[in-house]
Chains A and B, each alone.
Chain A
Amino acid sequence: MTPGIDTAASNRPLWLRILFAAEATRAALWPERFSPATAWAFLVPAILVVFVLVAGMGYMVDASLRELDRSTFMLSDDYSFANYATVLDRSFYWHIIGRTVAAAVIVTVITLVLAFPYAYAMARTPSAATRKLLLIGLFLPFFIGQVVRAYGWLIVLGQEGLLNSGLAWLGLDAIKLIYTYTGVLIGLVQYMLPFAVLMLAPAVTAVPEEVELASGSLGANWFATLWHVLLPMAKPGLVAAGVVVFTLTITDFAMPEIMGGGTNDFIASAIYDGYFSISEPGLGSALAVLLVLLASTLVAVIFAFVGVGTLGYTKRLER
């Protein structure tokens, strides 16, 4: 390609000159004939960063195939599937896996239902001040670490906490939420909500308000517009938010640990116990490998189901 712009012109601002110098460097290092591979070049850094985790998983796969010798607390030299057999054999692990997957589904659905109107309000409100307040309301809870936040929940949801005091004042019976499965789900939804809103907001913003108005002027009430126009058009954001919430929940450790009262463990808790409480790294690794396979498979199924092109271009085709 012949540059149509005179890169050497000295009357250009400094940033442009730097940019053109960079362009020349790029042309030397990455000539045009490489351009079909540009997308891959863009991906390489991310693939390498994530590879550190993959390399770490390599150790886990190795450990998962070795058995613990309790006279030396070393893993065996030879490989076997004993740890996997142990996991699959214990009904209690199945129970925990079921509980975790169920939580991931419930939390994802509730979070999306709560997040969409919030993202919608943020995108549509005419007031900049309101928008800012909504954003701040979203970001602040991030800064109370999960652990301290759980402490706040105990004060709110505890047997003698604010909620139950309020109920008692109204003459109602106390409800037990803290240290129950429901309590864990509440904590998780609250933790995931800001992530979901942030993933959804750009997608909602990208739906032109005129489309909504047009649908309304054709006589559709807003809920019909929401169902038939807004939600389908915001699908990329919904999928992004859904996948993020789902995967973060299915692998979560902290929330069931601190909100579950010790009897609502998720898979990650069982993995933790394997590595730390009982010094059985082989068993913990086997569980970890199974969890990663399970979560990745579910994600792949979601992508296959809603289409990989959820990011970006299918969106444009719909327009």
Chain B
Amino acid sequence: MSRPSARALFVWTIVWFNLVFLALPTVVVIIASFTAGNIVAFPPDGLSLRWYASLFETDSYTDAFLRSLYVAVICTVISLPVGTLAAIAMARYRLRLAGPIQVYLLLPFTIPLIVSGLGMMLVFGEIRILGQLWPVGFAACAINLPFMIWAVAASVNNLDTDLENAAANCGAPPLVTFVTVTLPAVMPGVITGGLLMFILAFNEFIVSLMLVDARIVTLPVLVYNSIRSVITPDLAAIAVVYIVVALVTIWVLDRLVGLEVFLKSK
């Protein structure tokens, strides 16, 4: 590399800025969660684990946590095939009406979440599935689907049509080609997309607010509702529990498939 220093200076200055920028509010909340006082304060008013203790003693939190997990799993399970297929269709084939379809498939982002939430409340109410938990997972899939599609589509770049053609020419039937050539090529996008869908569904509160009732309330809705009246440090503690879950998920993913998969196809 001829001029690594100017490049390195430019790139790493911005990267470090981003890291601090991304981490700052998170770190502050983590520290504040260990307060011994009654209110979220920084620096914390003495150190203690009391808010974590109260978290685990409260059944409503643990139940809501498990429900959120369920919602996130449903969302991911639906998104993986639906989004992957759509992305391959968009990127791999020349479609007539590709423009309108792109705009249509972006509706989840161009419709404000409150409107999506109210709309799905009416639709689900009409077909009598409101009050169950799985439609909340479906809803999370519907509002975030573009992430899945775009994540996979971005990695279709790695897809080599020659390789697919070669497989077909060697007599591999379409499904076999799809499973052994196409899918592995887009796997980084599928995993990135799947993880995004999981995280987003796990944290979703605006649409869920319209779809859950007190019996099936999810954790982000519970947090959102309690924050509307009073903000106590247990909410910061919940955030930290979320981070621990995130770290574990990422660690598991790293052990299973390797984090490299996000960036490099096999």
Contacts and interface: CB of A to CB of B under 8 A. Distances in A.
A167 to B, nearest CB: 15
B46 interface: no
B47 interface: no
Interface residues of A, number: 115
A243 B106 contact: yes
A46 B86 contact: yes
Contacts of A308: 98-99, 102
A231 interface: no
A114 B14 contact: yes
Given A39-B92, A56-B123, A199-B151, A300 B103 contact: yes
Interface in A1-58: 1-5, 19-20, 22-23, 26-27, 32, 35, 38-40, 42-43, 45-47, 49-50, 52-58
> Chain A contact residues: over half helix, strand or loop, or mixed?
helix
A251 B112 contact: yes
Contacts of B94: 313
Most buried by B among A152, A268, A295: A152
A311 interface: yes
B176 A202 contact: no
A135 B104 contact: no
Most buried by A among B10, B89, B111, B246: B111
A2 B170 CA distance: 11
Given A43-B86, A206-B158, A251 B24 contact: no
Interface in B40-77: 40, 42
A253 B23 contact: no
A267 B114 CA distance: 11
A45 B179 contact: no
A140 interface: yes
A295 B110 contact: yes
A45 B138 CA distance: 12
Interface stretch (A83-91, A169-177, A188-196): A188-196
Interface string B202-238: 1101100000000000001001100100010001101
Contacts of B155: 202
Contact of B264 (A138, A150, A198, A205): A205
Interface in A144-186: 144-153, 155-156, 162
Contacts of B236: 148, 151
Contact of B173 (A1, A47, A202): A1
A254 B236 CA distance: 18
Contact of B93 (A4, A39, A60): A39
B147 A195 contact: yes
A50 B122 contact: no
B105 A50 contact: yes
A56 B102 CA distance: 19
B105 A56 contact: no
B81 A45 contact: yes
Contact of A60 (B7, B115, B138): B115
A35 B188 contact: no
Contact of B78 (A49, A60, A271): A49
B243 A53 contact: no
Nearest to B249: A139
B250 to A, nearest CB: 6
B154 A311 contact: yes
B150 A144 contact: no
A217 interface: yes
B257 interface: no
Contacts of A140: 22-23, 26, 243, 246-247
Given A56-B119, A114-B14, A155-B42, A312 B159 contact: yes
Nearest to B241: A143
B28 A156 contact: yes
Interface string A205-226: 1100000010011000111000
Contacts of B192: 198, 201-202
- Sort A-B residue pairs by CB-CB distance and give the 7 closest, nearest first: A56-B119, A4-B171, A152-B25, A312-B91, A42-B89, A46-B86, A295-B110
17 contacts: A4-B170, A38-B93, A43-B85, A46-B85, A47-B101, A53-B119, A59-B118, A117-B10, A134-B15, A144-B242, A150-B25, A201-B263, A202-B263, A206-B158, A288-B111, A299-B102, A312-B156
Given A5-B171, A144-B26, 13 more contacts: A38-B174, A46-B85, A59-B119, A59-B122, A134-B15, A145-B242, A149-B25, A149-B29, A198-B151, A199-B150, A203-B154, A303-B99, A311-B91
